[in-house]
């Protein structure tokens, strides 16, 4: 066994790397183990920081955590840019639009739900939507402006986190974890395909693969499942962007989002599919996403389609993250972030730092204890 290190982190996506950076900043010795850091869900992610437009019926307990993490993002981004490079933070807000009358009814219903939760939303008439985004189709019937929903470029975030974590002293081992090593109910380290690592604490941040880590009884880890998302990347001339802010839309009942990056990339997503560990990109999904995007912003039809990707979000039974300690001493979990992994990275990293350094997650995170699923069975 090599090491010892204070913390071994299984998984080098945005969540695992954010934890590594923050822990290393506290002076802890940290090793992240991942055969290809940033190539999982973080690679597919659109990078929307969208607690309001991602607020779903029945997920109200998650909202406070999402809002708090969104509040922390500007400072997190500024510090990360300083230590690791550009993350493409943009704060123009998000415009949600509706294409036809049924779409507008659904959008209005969602707006009333958002208003009932005290969220900052503003109803816009069709003309005001087009004044804000002139490339919107004249068919758009109206919309809702959400000034507080922002975006980052998730691939830049991964790159910056790798650099910042490294500068703070964290190590990345490009190896595959084959199991946790536990002795007498306490973590001793990690086994990998290239050896072993002695760690005082292990944090499992392996996205939808978190439940399958060996070496501990399966019920110790939360039941995380893969939720497939197909997503597209198109290219535009940065001098003439088709959109100036993130646009989400309903187009004849189809939901789509369009996220413009300053460097000329338009991200169009995403499907939400329960298909296990399948990452096939299908013609139908590409067709449906493009059809909805073009219906809302006709100019999208002229852009170059440069990438199609299928990523796997980590979903738990209640679609909220699993964040905190497990029944094995020294084994912690930071996974299950589902549609909000990038958004929740700052608050997750802070919670894991509290757990490792003070022995408990902060009050905001206690509702997301990973052991809540075992208690239900």
Q: Which of 46, 95, 220, 221 binds ligand GLY (CB under 6 A)?
A: 46
Judged by CB under 6 A, the residue of 142, 215, 269, 330 near ligand GLY is 269
Site string for ligand GLY, 321-350 (x = CB under 6 A): ------------------x-----------
Its sign, for the CA torsion 49, 52, 56, 61, is: positive
Q: How far is the CB of 175 from ligand GLY (least distance, A)?
A: 28
Please report how close the Cβ of residue 264 comes to ligand GLY at its closest, in angstroms.
21
Site for ligand GLY in 295-314 (CB under 6 A): 313
The sign of the torsion formed by the CA atoms of 81, 86, 92, 94 equals: negative
197 to 6, 182, 189: CA distances (angstroms): 11, 12, 5
Is residue 163 packed enough to be buried (19+ CB in 10 Å), middle (13-18) or exposed (0-12)? middle
Least distance from ligand GLY to the Cβ atom of residue 140, Å? 21
- Does position 248 interact with ligand GLY (CB under 6 A)? The reply is no
Among the listed residues 40, 215, 229, 346, the single contact to ligand GLY using CB under 6 A: 229
Total site size for ligand GLY, rule CB under 6 A: 8
Min CB(297)–ligand GLY separation in Å = 18
**Whose Cβ is closer to ligand GLY: residue 234's or residue 353's?**
234
| Residue bearing tokens 């830049």 | 156
168: which DSSP letter?
T
> 149, 49 in Cβ contact below 8 A?
yes
Residue 241 Cα to chain centre, angstroms: 25
CB of 200 to ligand GLY, least distance (A): 34
Q: What residues pair up with 10 in beta bridges, in sequence order?
A: 33, 204
Shortest spacing between CB 311 and ligand GLY, in angstroms: 8
Q: How far is the CB of 269 from ligand GLY (least distance, A)?
A: 5
Question: Of the candidates 19, 24, 28, 48, which one interacts with ligand GLY according to CB under 6 A?
Answer: 48
When the beta carbons of 166 and 341 are compared against ligand GLY, the nearer one is 341
Computed from CA positions of residues 163, 165, 170, 171, in that sequence, does the dihedral angle turn out positive or negative? negative
- Provide, rounded to whole angstroms, the least separation between the CB of residue 47 and ligand GLY: 9
Q: Which residue is nearest to ligand GLY (CB)?
A: 339
Stretch that binds ligand GLY, among 46-54, 69-77, 181-189, 346-354 (CB under 6 A): 46-54
Nearest to 25, CA basis, from 77, 83, 81: 83
Residues 54-83 that bind ligand GLY (CB under 6 A): 54
Q: In residues, how long is the chain?
A: 377
Element (H, E) at 257: strand 254-260
Q: For the residues of 47-68, what is the DSSP string, one character each?
A: -EE-TTTT--TT-HHHHHHHHH
Contacts of residue 284, defined as CB under 8 A and 6 or more positions apart, other chains included, come to none
Q: Distance (Å, rounded) from C-alpha 56 to C-alpha 53?
A: 8
Question: In terms of CB distance, is 226 or 229 closer to ligand GLY?
Answer: 229
Whether the Cβ atoms of residue 335 and residue 224 lie closer than 8 Å to each other: yes
Other beta carbons less than 10 A from residue 260's beta carbon: 24
Give the interface with ligand GLY as residue ranges (CB under 6 A): 46, 48, 54, 229, 269-270, 313, 339
């Amino acid at each position: 066994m090599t090491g010892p290190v204070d913390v071994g982190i299984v998984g080098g996506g945005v969540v695992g790397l954010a934890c590594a950076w923050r822990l290393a900043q506290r002076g802890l010795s940290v090793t992240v183990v991942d055969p290809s850091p940033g190539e999982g869900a973080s690679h597919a992610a659109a990078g929307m920081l969208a607690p309001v437009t991602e607020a779903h019926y029945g997920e109200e307990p998650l909202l406070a955590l999402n809002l708090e993490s969104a509040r922390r993002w500007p400072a997190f981004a500024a510090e990360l840019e300083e230590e690791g490079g550009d993350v493409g933070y943009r704060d123009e807000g998000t415009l949600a639009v509706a294409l036809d009358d049924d779409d507008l009814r659904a959008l209005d219903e969602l707006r009333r739900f958002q208003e009932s939760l005290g969220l900052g939303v503003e109803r816009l008439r069709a003309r005001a939507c087009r004044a804000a985004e002139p490339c919107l189709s004249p068919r758009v019937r109206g919309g809702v402006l959400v000034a507080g929903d922002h975006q980052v470029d998730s691939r830049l975030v991964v790159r910056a986190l790798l650099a910042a974590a490294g500068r703070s002293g964290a190590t990345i081992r490009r190896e595959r974890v084959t199991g946790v090593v536990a002795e007498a109910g306490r973590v001793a380290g990690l086994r990998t395909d290239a050896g072993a690592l002695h760690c005082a604490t292990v944090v499992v941040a392996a996205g939808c693969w978190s439940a399958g880590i060996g070496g501990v009884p399966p019920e110790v880890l939360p039941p995380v499942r893969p939720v497939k998302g197909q997503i597209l990347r198109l290219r535009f001339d940065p001098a003439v962007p088709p959109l100036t802010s993130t646009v989400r839309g309903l187009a004849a009942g189809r939901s789509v989002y369009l996220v413009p990056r300053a460097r000329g990339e338009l991200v169009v997503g995403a499907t939400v599919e329960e298909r296990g560990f399948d990452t096939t990109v299908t013609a139908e999904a590409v067709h449906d996403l493009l059809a909805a995007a073009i219906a809302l912003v006709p100019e999208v039809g002229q852009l170059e389609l440069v990438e199609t990707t299928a990523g796997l979000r980590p979903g738990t039974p209640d679609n909220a993250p699993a964040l905190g300690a497990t029944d094995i001493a020294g084994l912690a979990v930071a996974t299950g972030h589902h549609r909000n992994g990038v958004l929740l990275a700052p608050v997750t990293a802070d919670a894991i730092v509290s757990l490792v350094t003070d022995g408990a997650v902060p009050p905001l995170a206690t509702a997301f204890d990973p052991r809540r699923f075992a208690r239900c069975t």
